[in-house]
Structure 1
């Protein structure tokens, strides 16, 4: 097992069989000690966050598998805080895809002239470049195509997958009377670029969720969803 990448919230190892192992950390993104799923820096460390993120990720990936929505997930080991996944090629140097159901966070900061806080959005899909130096700038489908990152045809696949997966997560949360405001995904190509699939994770650290109008912290979200 060889360490190939050290990320903000996970380390990535390559296995002898060619698959990859993701090791979940207790670090979460944010600024000045405040959690923010859209931030591009580690803001704080929450004890147990890694395993909590993995438990929720396993729950959602298995729900997607039942609906035959493609992901890179193979299996997981909760005690070790690891997940085994298929090798996938990211788009360019990495994209983040956000599905928004309410106007909060960076969406509100950018479009506050027109949007009100908490305003309903109809599964709005937004793509940003993973580029810490440039604060993860949003990018349009035309620019993605022109820069050779993602073709227009691939963008349409990405958009449909994002909305379908977002709706699965939204429906699962609603079963616990929890409302999803927004969620961040990552995608990649597998099978030598033939198929686009969801990669990375689906956890409290990737979304904003509210219950009775109150924001739910990542660790608390896991407890609500899995009734721990």
Structure 2
């Protein structure tokens, strides 16, 4: 097993059989000790976060697979905080896709002249480049196409799958009277046919969720979602 990438919240190993292993850490993104799913730095370490994130990831990836949506998911080992995945090629140096149902976070910081905090949004999809140096700048469909990162046809597939997946997650949260405000997803080209599919993870560290108007911390979200 060879370490091929050391990430902020997980490490990636080559298993040598064509698949990869993701080792989930207890680190979460944020700034000055405050969690922020949109941040590009590690803000704090929360004991049990890796295992918690993996439980949520397993739950949601299996729901998404049931709907026939392609993903890189193969299997999980909760005790060891690891997940086996199929290989996937990134778009350029990596994209993050955000689906927003309410105006919070960076959306509100950018568009606060027109948007009110918590204002409902109709599954607004935005794409940012994974570029720490430039603080993950947003990028448009035309720019993605002109820079050779994504074709217009691929953009359409990416956007539609983002909304479809986010709606599945939103509906699952709603069963526990939890409202999804926004979620960050990642996609890649999976397998020999380069099918666009969901990669990385789906956990409390990737989303903002609220219950009765109160923000739910990632660890608490996992408890609420997966309790019997």
TM-score by length of 1: 0.99
Match of 1:46 in 2: 46
Match of 1:71 in 2: 71
User: Is 2:182 aligned against 1:182?
Assistant: yes
User: Is 2:28 aligned against 1:17?
Assistant: no
3-state DSSP class of the match of 1:68?
Answer: coil
The whole-number CA distance in structure 1 between the counterparts of 2:187 and 2:193 is 12
Match of 2:139 in 1: 139
The whole-number CA distance in structure 1 between the counterparts of 2:60 and 2:72 is 13
User: Is 2:101 aligned against 1:106?
Assistant: no
Match of 1:226 in 2: 226
Task: State the 1:131 CA deviation.
Answer: 0.3
Task: State the 1:193 CA deviation.
Answer: 4.9
Task: State the 1:129 CA deviation.
Answer: 0.2
3-state DSSP class of the match of 1:80?
Answer: coil
Q: Is the 8 A contact 2:74 2:85 kept in 1?
A: yes
Match of 2:168 in 1: 168
User: Is 2:218 aligned against 1:215?
Assistant: no
Q: Is the 8 A contact 1:97 1:128 kept in 2?
A: yes
CA deviation profile, 1:135-190 (whole Å, cap 9, x unmatched):
00000000000000001100000000000000000000000000000000000001
Q: Following superposition, which runs of at least 4 residues in structure 1 exceed 2 angstroms of deviation?
A: 191-194
Q: Which runs of 5+ in 1 are unaligned?
A: none
The whole-number CA distance in structure 1 between the counterparts of 2:130 and 2:66 is 30
The whole-number CA distance in structure 1 between the counterparts of 2:87 and 2:65 is 17
Task: State the 1:18 CA deviation.
Answer: 1.3
The whole-number CA distance in structure 2 between the counterparts of 1:145 and 1:89 is 17
Match of 1:92 in 2: 92
The whole-number CA distance in structure 2 between the counterparts of 1:17 and 1:165 is 29
Q: Is the 8 A contact 1:89 1:193 kept in 2?
A: no
Task: State the 1:69 CA deviation.
Answer: 1.1
Give the direction of change, closer, same or farther, for the CA distance of 1:146–1:51 in structure 2 (3 Å limit). Answer: same
Q: Is the 8 A contact 1:182 1:209 kept in 2?
A: yes
The whole-number CA distance in structure 2 between the counterparts of 1:15 and 1:150 is 29
Which has the larger displacement, 62-71 or 138-147?
Answer: 62-71
Task: State the 1:65 CA deviation.
Answer: 1.1
Task: State the 1:58 CA deviation.
Answer: 0.1
3-state DSSP class of the match of 2:74?
Answer: strand
The whole-number CA distance in structure 1 between the counterparts of 2:162 and 2:87 is 20
